[in-house]
Amino acid sequence: MRRALFFVLVLAGLPLLAARAERPVHPDEVRGPSTVAAKPQSPGAEPVRGGMAVLCLLGEMDSLNPFTSSSGAASEIHDLIYPRLFIEEADYPQGPPTFTPNIAESATPGADGYTLLVKLRECTWSDGEPITAEDVRFSWQAAKHPDVAWVSASIVDFIEDIEIQDPRTFTVKYSQKYPYQQMDVNDVQILPKHRFGKVPFEQWQTHGKWLEQARVAGGPFLLESMRPNEEVTLVRNPAYWKKGQPYLDKLIFRIIPDQRTQLTSVLAGDVDCMQGVTPKDVDKILDAEHLELYTYMTRTFGYVGWNCKRWPFDDAKVRRAMSHAIDVEDIVESLFRGYAKVAGPQIISSFWASNPDIEPVEFDPDRAEQLLQEAGWSKGSDGLFAKDGKPFHFTLLTSSENALRQRICLMIQANLKEVGVGSDIRPMESNQMSTQLKQHEFQGYVGGWYVATKVDLKPIWHSTSVDGRFNYVNFQDTRVDEIIDTARIMFDFEAARPLWFELQEILDEAQPYTMLYEPRALVALHKRFQGVEMNALRVYANIDEWWVPPDQRRFK
């Protein structure tokens, strides 16, 4: 599941110095040295069916249809309802990710490099209808359709057709030879054609939340109920292809849009899992007898995004001045308590294509003021910069649900004030903010990305991704487009690497983002759960294998 590029739900906390070294591992800390954190099974324990989990969602679901949604909260539900052909493993730091079978039992590349023959296992939707190649082709057509306007439609750019041989066999035809063919078709979640096909593609964006269609599932759980702004309830899918699984009978996702409230709830035992634990609250989790802390590398970075087509950030010198004016190291040391590092290049450091020669922009207020002066700004007697009689004062957006980003905004505001730049902070509900960002109705914002495990960058940086997709900062550069169009389809990673390095050098010079941090995940989970494995792709990576001993269940 590497398509998701949603806002990061990671929070903040505390002292300096700890950021420069790993903190000692606590007995109740399940620490993954890389991208996976897994708790060993209790000796002699055997999974048994039954019980439930109460989980948190930070925001309201915008849509139960994965192709009309841009919500991170919604994507967690989609992944439990709608199946994928394969399971992507979290081994991307070592190279292209590997895949294991899911509803597809095999995938055979064609000799010419332009086809992939896929064989489905024999399995059904929750209503008893078989999952077929027709469902796969229909889902690809939805992903590709211009009226559906899937925000990640670039993923299927090179999938030319899906030809059906029989109900369980199909051939994916590609327009290019490139190394991510299996990954791209896997990122198309499979929807039941017999339900979703009743709504014409032209009506998908206006259809609503898709409540009735989502009651048919092919994943481990199916939708039982949804109460807007309150909770989403999923129950065990008895038709799930993994016989005997999932072990849990029910998942209740409570919508709690404030992380302080989430913390109170998980500490009180009212909810079982909280994904966005703040580093300052780690000790509270570890001191709670009923909780464990899971921590592992993420595929995430935090940043300030500058609107490259809107005053005053339509000048690269101004954007670089902002980067020099912000004390990023202080932000990371003060807020992350050893659970993050300062970010440098625009491809995060754990990826093979990250440029090691690009250092974080140095905190240098004097250089920031010099660049502003070179850009035509001058300081008045009040100590504030102005140009053409207009003071340098702007609005910085951030998520109202995310305490970390609000604290970062306050630190940035103080840094900028020191060099003579004024700013207002405007917290905004995440779905509303997402809409505003897509329309480029902002000057600057503090946000973060879950990045793709495929090094592509088209969804974020290509000029064609400006309209309604993820190029929120409205950055456009002909050479960047050329590099993306070339490097994203190259089989030879060693040959592609210099191109990706060049792209990062262009972005580093232009500074459409001020890069801030690369964090570790911090997830609190009740100790009652057995068989748990979390990874940088999915917190609930193997939730179909989670189980609870009968004497520890919420309701016996």
More confident residue, 338 or 329: 329
DSSP string computed for 96-162? SPPEEESSEEEEEE-TTSSEEEEEE-S-B-TTSPBP-HHHHHHHHHHHH-TTT--TTGGGGTTEEEE
Mean pLDDT of 99-109: 97
Is 400 a residue whose pLDDT tops 50? Answer: yes
Tokens in use for 248? 């849990």
What's the pLDDT at 268? Answer: 97
Q: What span, in angstroms and rounded, lies between the C-alpha atoms of 159 and 174?
A: 5
The SS3 call for residue 63 is coil
Predicted TM-score (pTM) of the model is: 0.78
Computed over every residue of the chain, the mean pLDDT equals 91
Helices (H), 241-388: 259-268, 282-287, 316-325, 328-336, 365-374
Q: Chain-centre distance of CA 34, in angstroms? A: 18
Give residues with Cβ within 8 angstroms of 461, minimum separation 6. Answer: 346, 471, 475, 480, 484, 503, 507
Q: Identify the structural domains of the chain with CATH numbers, from first to last.
A: 65-202 (3.90.76.10), 300-518 (3.10.105.10)
Beta bridge partners of 29: 293
What's the pLDDT at 23? Answer: 64
pLDDT digits (tens, 9 = 90+) for 258-268: 889 999 999 99
Instruction: Report the range of poorest mean pLDDT among 136-140, 191-195, 459-463.
Output: 459-463
What's the pLDDT at 151? Answer: 87
Q: Which long-range contacts (CB under 8 A, 24 or more apart) does 139-143 make?
A: 139/188, 139/189, 139/190, 139/191, 139/193, 140/185, 140/188, 141/201, 142/67, 142/191, 142/196, 142/201, 142/204, 143/67, 143/188
DSSP string computed for 538-556? -TTTTGGG-B--GGG-S--
pLDDT digits (tens, 9 = 90+) for 194-224: 999 999 999 999 998 899 999 999 999 999 9
Beta strands in 323-455 (DSSP E): 340-342, 378-379, 385-387, 390-391, 393-399, 422-428, 444-450
What's the pLDDT at 22? Answer: 53
